[in-house]
Amino acid sequence: MALIEGLRIQNYRSLYDISMGRIGTDHNLRKADPLTPMTAIIGKNGVGKSSVFDAFGFLADCMDTDLETVCNARNRGGFDKLVSSGKDETISFTIYYRESKNDRPVTYEVSIKKDPKDELPIVVSERLRQRRKNQSHGRPLSFLNLDHGKGSVWVGDDSLEGDDLNKKIVELDSHKLGIVTLAEHIKENPRIKKFKDFIQNWYLSYFTPDAARQIPQAGIQKHLNLHGDNIGNVVQFIERNHPIIFKKLLLDISSKIPGIGTIKTYRDKITNNLYLLFQDKGFEKAFTQQQMSDGTLKMFSYMLLLQDPEPAPFVCIEEPENGLYHKLLEILAREFREHATGKKGAPQVFITTHQPYFIDALEPNEVWVLEKGSDGFSRITRASNIEFVQNMVDEGQPLGGLWYSDYLDAR
């Protein structure tokens, strides 16, 4: 399973310039420890946690449409609302990732700015880089290098900058990412297709309990969607196609959510509507999803997401604690960690939170502290790099308690 080892976000809302983990093409970050399979960003209200979440969402949305549409989607308000306040610069993203543990890392860099001619956002530059096979040191070479949509792509599995026989000159529409267009030519650009699919398959949770309460039409669906309104369809799929996983899921749910006994699906033969039936301990009649609490539905959806037989490579969830009983948060954090193993087939999990009970279950190297500087822009620090924190955790102090007591926030 692909793993993001490092990332950099520049000029995106309050994120004027933040970096996390290792980026092999950056002199200052090439020796940094990579991101862990389970990563959490913590911070007070208004420090930019939602901006980090939305930066991932922005890139994922770019896989499906043009930049102008993406800038206006999800209440973003257009390019001018996204670019850091007072800055006339490009919005830039850098992702450093490996397709698997033994694969050569790939660096993706993209910069976006408004075209002064038509006032529409365009791709200023876009680049994919990688070292040659069996090359452990030295400068990674491009296999995609575009400037305003024009440039070169090196076709095939292994060709890189300097291999003129495999070099192809391209001119693309700069109003959308070049990797999206080039990925359509799978045989020529398998690495680009693989990277584009990696981002397109990210799961960013926009779950709302009201959406999960909707009663869908019957019909199996393999994956939970971003809002969770197909939760019954996914249960139906797992129940039918993965009965062992389904049985384990029900046992986990009944043991971790107080009061829940059994869960099953029910299809109304007349309307073809699909209901989830929750048998609450102590009640003779079952409840449907319309009658369950926000917290129960949320916990159930997260457990269902983690039990996906074909999980997304990257799962990002904003403030999963909302609506959950505090005793469940540590359980949920451990569930995420148990699934985010870094092994083949396991997802990388990225969480934003400010809940101490959730943080208690994490290690300092898994936690990043986001703060606002005096200039109004966000700064980020790995908790394990904060003086005394690792020592205090080693001595038995819970990390969430240190966060609550302001040891992770110098202000």
Q: What distance in Å separates the CA atoms of residue 394 and residue 68, rounded to the nearest whole number?
A: 49
C-beta separation of 35 from 365 below 8 A: no
Give the mean model confidence (pLDDT) for residues 107-117: 95
Tell me, what's the pLDDT at 1? 66
pLDDT at 195: 95
Q: Which of 82 and 264 is assigned the larger pLDDT?
A: 82
Token pair of 324, please? 């959950």
What pLDDT was estimated at residue 326?
A: 81
Residue 64 CB contacts under 8 Å (≥ 6 apart), including other chains: 200
The reported pLDDT for the residue numbered 405 is: 86
Distant-in-sequence, close-in-space partners of 35: CB < 8 Å, separation ≥ 6: 3, 4, 5, 6, 7, 20, 21, 22, 348
The pLDDT score that the predictor gives to residue 284 is 74
How high does pLDDT run on average in the chain? Answer: 90
Predicted confidence (pLDDT) at residue 338 exceeds the cutoff of 80: yes
Judge whether 84 and 11 are in contact, CB under 8 Å. Answer: yes
Is pLDDT of 410 > 60? Answer: no
| Domain 1-202+312-411 is found in CATH 3.30.420.40 | no
Q: Is the pLDDT of residue 320 over 70?
A: yes
pLDDT at 134: 80
Residue 397 has pLDDT above 70, yes or no: yes
Question: Binning pLDDT at 50, 70 and 90, where does residue 327 land?
Answer: confident
More confident residue, 21 or 388: 21
Predicted pLDDT of residue 343: 86
The answer to whether residues 166 and 159 touch, using CB atoms and an 8 Å cutoff, is yes
What average pLDDT does the segment 314-332 reach? 87
Name the phi and psi angles at 250, rounded to 5.
-65, -40
Report DSSP state, residue 234.
H
- Dist CA 234 CA 362 (whole Å): 29
Please tell me the chain's helix, strand, coil percentages from 3-state DSSP, rounded to the nearest 5.
30, 25, 40
| Residue 367 near residue 383, CB atoms below 8 Å | yes
Distances (CA, A) of 157 to 109, 181, 198, 227: 19, 18, 16, 36
pLDDT at 38 over 90: yes
| 129-146 pLDDT tens trace | 999 988 777 789 999 999
- Domains of the chain: which residue ranges? 1-202+312-411, 209-311
The percent of residues in the chain predicted with pLDDT above 90, rounded, is: 57
Residue with tokens 């310039």: 17
**Measured between alpha carbons, how far is residue 313 from residues 195, 251, 347 in Å?**
11, 25, 5
Strands 260-267 and 141-147: unpaired
User: How is the beta sheet containing 106-114 ordered, strand by strand?
Assistant: 15-21, 3-12, 91-98, 106-114, 121-130, 141-147, 150-154, 167-171
3-state SS assignment for residue 399? helix
Is pLDDT at 292 greater than 90 in this prediction? no
Q: Is the pLDDT of residue 328 over 80?
A: yes
